[in-house]
Structure formats: C-alpha cells, structure tokens
Amino acid sequence: IPRGGASSVSAAAAGARRLPVGVRKPSLRVVVTGGAGFVGSHLVDKLLARGDSVIVVDNFFTGRKENVAHHLGNPRFELIRHDVVEPILLEVDQIYHLACPASPVHYKFNPIKTIKTNVMGTLNMLGLAKRVGARFLLTSTSEVYGDPLEHPQKESYWGHVNPIGVRSCYDEGKRTAETLTMDYHRGAGVEVRIARIFNTYGPRMCLDDGRVVSNFVAQALRKHPMTVYGDGKQTRSFQYVSDLVDGLVTLMESNHIGPFNLGNPGEFTMLELAQVVKETIDPGASVEFKPNTADDPHMRKPDISKAKSLLNWEPKISLKQGLPRMVSDFQKRIMDEK
C-alpha cells in the first residue's frame, strides 16, 4: 500500500483520471463514511459495480449492516465500525463523507453528537484527505439555505438560518463543515467537492426515521392515516436516490469544487405528496393533521442550472416513477416485522 505523501498518491489518482483511450482505469480505493446508511449504501453498490475497492466507515447510529450485507463476501469490500468523531488512519484515493444523521428526528435525538459529527467528524476526514492526498467530497444539504427568502435556491444564496434553534446542530453543523472543507482546500491544498443535497427518498430509508416520504409510505402500507404537519402547504422537492448517487459520482470525478445543488426541481406541497402516495399505494388512504415542528422551512426547490451546465447532470426519475420502486422494499420490511 503506498504510504507516500500527498504528491505521490494524488499523482496516481490524477493519472487514473487521464488515461489514454482504450487503457482500463485502475480501480480506486474509496472510503464512504456513513456507507451503511440510506444514501451511502446505494453509493457503495455503484462504486463496487464499477470495480473500485470500498471501505465503509460507519458507527451504525442510523445505518444498518443489512444495507451492505450483500457485499460482505466481496474481497474489494470492507466494513469498519468506527465513529468519525475519533481520528482514523486509512490509505485511500477518494473520500465520500456522508456520516451524519439526516432525518430531523435522528439529528435532534442528540444534538451535541450531531454537531460533533459535523465538525469533528469532517475535520478528521479532511485531515485524512490531507495526509494521504485523497480527493474529498462533502455531502452538505439544502438545509444550509435555512427557511429561504429566495426561491428557488441557487448556490449563490447565503441562506436564512437560525443559529440557536433546534435544527442548528444540523444546518449550522453542515455550514461549518462546508467552511472547513473550503479552508482545507485553500489552506492545505486538499482537492475538495461540495454537494448540497435536497430531500431524497428510495429503498433502504429507515422505516420510522420521521422523514415525510418514509412516514407517508409506511403509514399508507400499515393502513394508518398519513400525518401532515401544519397546514400541509409547505413545499419540498423530492429526488430519487439513484439520481443523487449518479450526481455524487459525477461531481467527484469532475474538475469542479462546487457547491452544487443536487436535487429534483419538481416541487410538491405535503398535501400533494400525500395524494401521490394515496394514488400509488392505497386509494383509501387518509390524512391526519398534526402541529408542525419549529423552524420548518416553508418552501424548498433547487435551482440546478449550475449542475446541468457544468456537470451535465440532471435527475431522470419523477416522483410518480420513483415512489413505486421504494414501496416494494418498504412492503417487504413491514411484512418481516410481523
């Protein structure tokens, strides 16, 4: 394993990206932190399928071994139980840094742990990237825009965020993670990429993670009313997970730092989402209104023109096409509970 300084490893990685036509790309050694989670496990599937060696680093707070169990016999796959708040020594070419609870229910469960994960976890992974000359990609979030005063949101918008609210551990945590990422780039020459991910759904989401798509789908399948918070007129834009994973890999391989919005611009109110879930799963499904949570953004929709023009990326799967793909996975897991 090359242990050399930044120059030798990054030269090898750069070489891997500029091979003459017809020469097979050598496989990369890639770390995916949070790789046992929802998005991470789909990313791992894609990286292994293209021939890379993948190390998953995960503390299993919200991730599950089952999400990557199908790779356990693969010699190119390794699963490490580790908390990114603690330092770790690895030798790799690329780091996809996803480790962080993403659902409001999970990130509010232990807010101090959430901000430590965002700040100390990101610092450790950037320190690792600096030491071995690896390229580092941060999965930031649309939450950095807070309750936005600009609609749709462009990457140039600085956001409208409450620094002392119950969501701050997550949204201010991710804003600090972006700052650290840019400071390691400017100050230590680390090659970095920043993705701002908008609401994403798909198979392997936690059944009860409290996010709206997983809640509505699980509720409709269990014949419970779908819980609409507030008046249900707030909006979100929902992206299917395979579109996101394609965007993350495209960004990592590109020559652009970002930040890039990665999301599906199709915008729905929560009542409209409930209607699509009803049409997809059960025409008899009902809704029940509940009080909304504090600091809930009123509307959210990505402007993806930057990713379209610079990365040649845009999502392909609409909500109506994506939802049924998630339903069969949820159905199976809900049956297994019984």
Burial of 310 (0-12, 13-18, 19+ CB in 10 A): middle
- Residue 128 interacting entry, from ligand NAD, ligand UDP, none, C-beta within 5 to 8 Å by type: ligand UDP
- Alpha-carbon distance of 247 to 249, in angstroms, equals 6
Is residue 170 annotated as a catalytic residue, yes or no?
yes
With beta carbons less than 8 A apart as the criterion, state whether 159 and 146 touch. yes
By CB under 6 A, what part of segment 217-276 binds ligand UDP?
227-229, 234, 236, 270
By CB under 6 A, what part of segment 60-99 binds ligand UDP?
87-89
Q: Is 38 in the site for ligand NAD (CB under 6 A)?
A: yes
With beta carbons less than 8 A apart as the criterion, state whether 235 and 296 touch. no
Could you say which DSSP state residue 120 is in? I
By CB under 6 A, what part of segment 55-74 binds ligand NAD?
58-63
- Residue 229 interacting entry, from ligand NAD, ligand UDP, none, C-beta within 5 to 8 Å by type: ligand UDP
HSE value, Cβ hemisphere, 13 Å, CA-based, for 56: 31
User: Is 108 strand, coil or helix?
Assistant: helix
Least distance to ligand NAD from the beta carbon of 252, Å?
A: 14
Q: Catalytic: which of 96, 107, 145, 170?
A: 170
Angle at 99 between CA 97 and CA 103, to 5 degrees: 125
Least distance to ligand NAD from the beta carbon of 58, Å?
A: 4
- Residue 124 interacting entry, from ligand NAD, ligand UDP, none, C-beta within 5 to 8 Å by type: ligand UDP
CB of 61 or CB of 313, closer to ligand NAD: 61
Query: Using the rule CB under 6 A, which residue among 9, 32, 47, 123 binds ligand UDP?
Result: 123
With beta carbons less than 8 A apart as the criterion, state whether 269 and 275 touch. no
- Alpha-carbon distance of 69 to 146, in angstroms, equals 36
Alpha helix (H) ranges present in 198-318?
Answer: 212-221, 241-253, 270-281, 305-311
By CB under 6 A, what part of segment 191-210 binds ligand NAD?
197, 199-200
- Alpha-carbon distance of 47 to 24, in angstroms, equals 16
Query: Using the rule CB under 6 A, which residue among 13, 99, 245, 307 binds ligand NAD?
Result: 99
Q: Is 53 in the site for ligand NAD (CB under 6 A)?
A: no
Least distance to ligand NAD from the beta carbon of 57, Å?
A: 6
Report the 3 state secondary structure along 24-65. Answer: CCCCCEEEEECCCCHHHHHHHHHHHHCCCEEEEEECCCCCCH
Least distance to ligand UDP from the beta carbon of 68, Å?
A: 22
Using CB under 6 A as the criterion, what x/- string covers residues 270-309 for binding ligand UDP?
A: x---------------------xx--x-------------
- Alpha-carbon distance of 262 to 176, in angstroms, equals 19
Interface residues with ligand NAD (CB under 6 A)?
A: 33-34, 36-40, 58-63, 83-85, 98-102, 106, 117, 121, 139, 141, 197, 199-200
Residues annotated catalytic, as ranges = 170
Interface residues with ligand UDP (CB under 6 A)?
A: 87-89, 104, 123-124, 127-128, 130-131, 199, 210-212, 215, 227-229, 234, 236, 270, 292-293, 296
